[in-house]
Amino acid sequence: MSNHSPGTDTVTYDDDIVKKFIFAALLFGGVAFLVGVIVALQLAYWQFNFDTSWLTFGRLRPLHTNAAIFAFAGNIVFAGIYHSTQRLLKARMFSRALSCIHFWGWQLIIVAAAISLPLGLTTGKEYAELEWPIDIAITLIWVVFAINFFGTLAKRRVQHIYVAIWFYIATIVTVAVLHIVNSLALPVSMMKSYPVFAGIQDALVQWWYGHNAVAFFLTTPFLGLMYYYLPKAVQRPVYSYRLSIIHFWALVFMYIWAGPHHLLNTALPDWAQTLGMIFSVALWAPSWGGMINGLLTLRGAWDKLRTEPVVKFFVAAVTAYGMSTFEGPLLSIKSVSSLGHYTDWIVGHVHVGTLGWNGFMAFGISYYLLPRIWKTQLYSKSMATAHFWVATVGIVLYYISMLSAGITQGLMWRNIDSAGRLVYPDFVETVTKIIPLYQVRVVGGTLFLIGFLIMIYNLFKTAQTAAKDATDETVQVAFKGLPGVEGETGHRKLEGLVTAFTVLTLIAILIGSVLEILPTLNLDKYVAPASKVHPFSPLEIAGRDIYIREGCYVCHSQMIRKMPSDVLRFGEPSTIGESMYDHPFQWGSKRTGPDLSRVGKKYPSLWHFRHMIDPRSISEHSVMPNYPWLASQKVDFYSLRKKLSVLKALGVPYSDDVLGRADVIAEEEARVIAEELKGQGVEGKIEDKDIIALIAYLQALGQKGIKE
């Protein structure tokens, strides 16, 4: 960078990388929304599973969530961070090479996810399904991003960092910690691993991660983006600097504790549930601090809400943020969770955040940025306004239908008559009841997708009017070196000291993490000797891996909560001991089908055989997909020795004898089940098929207790 006149630097921003990230976000956004509509269709009409392994709900739902979070939201966050950071720091990105590695590396990861998830290559941990080589790639690319970002901070031409940058720092630091800890696993093969944590540890770590993926991947970066683009779009000063200080630190410190609110009324020790609940409730105000600072920044510029589609999107996004951060604390109260958890209410809640807050922020930023980068005007404001309204109606339909579905089903589950019996003992009845609402959701999702396509057309037309010589923006910055923070005090001083700021952020997120997770690492303390269990047999392990591969856990829980309605329906509450060898845990987060923790021996094996191939031959109104390929695909007996030895290394007590003959034992187990089925009229060579292993696993659920 050459100096024009003494004390003035010429800075050329890298806008090309911003453009690339936006294009990727829009491309993968389209994929995420389309797959979203498909999975919504599959729940309304099971036929849309197409009897095809890689198109079934259990495999596509993780694809949808990963595409939405990491591909769509991720890329727009990177676009916004690269664009705003350079301008807020008056510096070009640290390294063009790192920017490119970051961009292409991230897109490769997404492609790897898009291939591996439909193939059933998954860890089975929600929002962290990608297998270990991809996890390592994510870590490396995140480090590249971090170096690039902090490198830019190091060569900044402004002393103090703006609140947007605070949020970016929190994002980068925390996501790294979350991703690394939650992905710790021992590989079995190139695309198969078992997480090091099991049972309640894994549950706690997974939802510490899962909730904070929402917090630090979908909230803090977007708050940072809001603090830059909203004041820019309305050209008004930010409402309150002190509010930003308070709500930033409160959010960063408190969010990390909130994970256990996904595990309320379960076997998780009471104290952890209580901490998760009270911190979630107390997060209401800190979250709303962000909303207030966003909305009140519009004071004196409300007329722009009428005329500017970009402002419409931002304001609706911030409002959606306010709604979901009110509903979140509400749902974290144990008694409310006992109604809402495992139902579609949670799905509705999440989508106000993702479609409303993340989606609308992303759309607003795209409409704002692309015309500026192309040095032109948006092709059609009225088309953008149409997008806004179509998408808004879509979100409203989505949310209302899922809220009603969730509450309806939740109430049906817990309805106990005056004779002390469940009023709806047949689970399917509670599903059939809400199918019409699933259909409404399809309409809502489709509207959102249509709105998105309107935007793509609008942006495409805008691109055609782009200035031919639209080069990177160049500015002159008066700069004679950073002035330093001498004489400053308090938070202002901290804003000039990036390293100290980053370290403090790290400490803030580590306190809650350590205090919550550490005590459960000593599992023995919590497992009553009476509730200890035998580990799964070799064939059952093979079946369990099929259960994970097919994504059965996205519809089935294995956790009977400490609630009368759960106990009456499914049996005694699940204990900590029962899942102590579960790498990963299978408590689930949604009950589209019934809980399976006690399904073992409930039905004859023939029942399962028929039910897996065609659930509707057993349960007429089921929405569960058909799994015909399980009856033709062969069990991988060969890898069982390796699998069991990895599990043993993680603490599952297998004897050397079992390890050495795992495949032989499994084949023998399979033969016994196959013989029984053949005796009942099943034909063909079935003793080496996946379905036998899966049946073995299902029949073992709830049957592993050690009887004195």
**Near ligand HEC in 57-86, by CB under 6 A:** 57-58
Q: How far apart are CA 98 and CA 111, in angstroms?
A: 20
Binding segment for ligand HEC (CB under 6 A), chosen from 129-137, 160-168, 249-257, 619-627, is 619-627
Q: How far apart are CA 303 and CA 290, in angstroms?
A: 22
Any contact of residue 571 with ligand HEC (CB under 6 A)?
Answer: no
Q: Among 119, 463, 567, 664, which residue sits at the site for other proteins (rule: CB under 8 A)?
A: 567
Do 466 and 441 form a contact (C-beta atoms < 8 A)? no
CA-to-CA separations, 333 to 338, 340, 473, in angstroms, rounded: 9, 10, 50
**Partner whose binding site includes residue 371, from other proteins, ligand HEC, none (CB under 5 to 8 Å by kind):** none
Q: How far apart are CA 188 and CA 104, in angstroms?
A: 28
Phi-psi region of 638 (alpha: psi -120 to 50; beta: other; left: phi over 0): alpha
**Partner whose binding site includes residue 593, from other proteins, ligand HEC, none (CB under 5 to 8 Å by kind):** ligand HEC
Any contact of residue 279 with other proteins (CB under 8 A)?
Answer: yes
Q: How far apart are CA 634 and CA 252, in angstroms?
A: 48
Do 193 and 186 form a contact (C-beta atoms < 8 A)? yes
Any contact of residue 274 with other proteins (CB under 8 A)?
Answer: yes
**Partner whose binding site includes residue 275, from other proteins, ligand HEC, none (CB under 5 to 8 Å by kind):** other proteins
Binding segment for ligand HEC (CB under 6 A), chosen from 184-192, 343-351, 423-431, 512-520, is 423-431
Any contact of residue 441 with ligand HEC (CB under 6 A)?
Answer: no
Q: Among 403, 533, 559, 623, which residue sits at the site for ligand HEC (rule: CB under 6 A)?
A: 623
The nearer residue to ligand HEC, 550 or 582, going by C-beta atoms, is 550
Binding segment for other proteins (CB under 8 A), chosen from 25-33, 519-527, 603-611, 650-658, is 603-611
Q: Among 11, 71, 81, 88, which residue sits at the site for other proteins (rule: CB under 8 A)?
A: 88
Q: What mask of x and - would describe binding to ligand HEC in positions 630 to 669, judged by CB under 6 A?
A: ----------------------------------------
Any contact of residue 347 with ligand HEC (CB under 6 A)?
Answer: no
Any contact of residue 265 with ligand HEC (CB under 6 A)?
Answer: no
The nearer residue to ligand HEC, 428 or 510, going by C-beta atoms, is 428
We find the least distance from the C-beta atom of residue 550 to ligand HEC, in angstroms, to be: 4
Any contact of residue 489 with other proteins (CB under 8 A)?
Answer: no
Q: How far apart are CA 501 and CA 512, in angstroms?
A: 18
- Residue corresponding to tokens 């961009």: 103
We find the least distance from the C-beta atom of residue 171 to other proteins, in angstroms, to be: 18
Q: Under rule CB under 8 A, how many of the chain's residues touch other proteins?
A: 66
- In 3D space, the residue among 606, 565, 588, 561 whose CA is nearest the CA of residue 427 turns out to be 565
Cβ-based burial of 400 (10 A; exposed 0-12, middle 13-18, buried ≥19) = middle
Do 231 and 609 form a contact (C-beta atoms < 8 A)? no
Phi-psi region of 573 (alpha: psi -120 to 50; beta: other; left: phi over 0): beta
**Near other proteins in 298-357, by CB under 8 A:** 329
150-179 in b/e burial notation, b at 16+ Cβ within 10 A?
A: bebbeebebebbbbbbbbbbbbbbbbbbbb
Binding segment for ligand HEC (CB under 6 A), chosen from 222-230, 303-311, 443-451, 549-557, is 549-557
The nearer residue to ligand HEC, 459 or 635, going by C-beta atoms, is 635
- In 3D space, the residue among 639, 617, 626, 615 whose CA is nearest the CA of residue 693 turns out to be 639
We find the least distance from the C-beta atom of residue 158 to ligand HEC, in angstroms, to be: 52
- In 3D space, the residue among 116, 141, 144 whose CA is nearest the CA of residue 131 turns out to be 116
DSSP letter at 634 equals B
**Residue 507 CB coordination number (10 Å):** 11
**Partner whose binding site includes residue 339, from other proteins, ligand HEC, none (CB under 5 to 8 Å by kind):** none
Any contact of residue 409 with ligand HEC (CB under 6 A)?
Answer: no
Contacts of 389 (CB under 8 A, 6+ apart): none
Q: Among 431, 437, 455, 509, which residue sits at the site for ligand HEC (rule: CB under 6 A)?
A: 431
Any contact of residue 606 with other proteins (CB under 8 A)?
Answer: yes
We find the least distance from the C-beta atom of residue 532 to other proteins, in angstroms, to be: 18
**Partner whose binding site includes residue 547, from other proteins, ligand HEC, none (CB under 5 to 8 Å by kind):** ligand HEC
Q: Do you know the residue count of the chain?
A: 708
**Residue 688 CB coordination number (10 Å):** 16
Binding segment for ligand HEC (CB under 6 A), chosen from 188-196, 258-266, 426-434, 672-680, is 426-434
- In 3D space, the residue among 471, 379, 354, 317 whose CA is nearest the CA of residue 74 turns out to be 354
Binding segment for other proteins (CB under 8 A), chosen from 140-148, 266-274, 513-521, 643-651, is 266-274
Q: What mask of x and - would describe binding to other proteins in positions 394 to 433, judged by CB under 8 A?
A: ----------------------x-xxxxx--xx-------
Backbone angles phi, psi at 186, to 5 degrees: -105, 125
Binding segment for other proteins (CB under 8 A), chosen from 282-290, 464-472, 513-521, 531-539, is 282-290
For CA atoms 162, 166, 171, 177, give the dihedral sign: positive
The nearer residue to other proteins, 529 or 655, going by C-beta atoms, is 529
**Partner whose binding site includes residue 296, from other proteins, ligand HEC, none (CB under 5 to 8 Å by kind):** other proteins
We find the least distance from the C-beta atom of residue 574 to other proteins, in angstroms, to be: 12
- In 3D space, the residue among 537, 535, 536, 548 whose CA is nearest the CA of residue 669 turns out to be 537
Q: How far apart are CA 645 and CA 257, in angstroms?
A: 34
We find the least distance from the C-beta atom of residue 591 to ligand HEC, in angstroms, to be: 9
Any contact of residue 464 with other proteins (CB under 8 A)?
Answer: no
Three-class secondary structure of residue 478 per DSSP: strand
Do 635 and 692 form a contact (C-beta atoms < 8 A)? yes
**Residue 6 CB coordination number (10 Å):** 6
For the chain, the maximum distance between any two Cα atoms, rounded to a whole number of angstroms, is 93
Contacts of 215 (CB under 8 A, 6+ apart): 174, 251, 255, 256, 258
Q: How far apart are CA 482 and CA 158, in angstroms?
A: 7
Any contact of residue 550 with ligand HEC (CB under 6 A)?
Answer: yes
We find the least distance from the C-beta atom of residue 618 to other proteins, in angstroms, to be: 4
Three-class secondary structure of residue 342 per DSSP: strand
We find the least distance from the C-beta atom of residue 61 to ligand HEC, in angstroms, to be: 8
**Near ligand HEC in 582-611, by CB under 6 A:** 592-594, 596, 599, 602-604, 607
Question: Which element (helix H / strand E) includes 375?
Answer: none
We find the least distance from the C-beta atom of residue 422 to ligand HEC, in angstroms, to be: 14
Backbone angles phi, psi at 229, to 5 degrees: -80, -30
- In 3D space, the residue among 474, 479, 475, 476 whose CA is nearest the CA of residue 7 turns out to be 479
Q: Under rule CB under 6 A, how many of the chain's residues touch ligand HEC?
A: 29
Q: Point out which residues bind other proteins (CB under 8 A).
A: 84, 87-88, 90, 158, 160, 162, 164, 227-228, 231-232, 237-244, 246, 250, 265, 270-271, 273-275, 277-279, 281-282, 284-286, 288-289, 292, 296, 329, 416, 418-422, 425-426, 562-564, 567-568, 573, 601-607, 610, 618-619, 680
Q: Point out which residues bind ligand HEC (CB under 6 A).
A: 57-58, 427-428, 431, 547, 550, 552, 554-556, 592-594, 596, 599, 602-604, 607, 615, 619, 622-625, 627, 694, 698
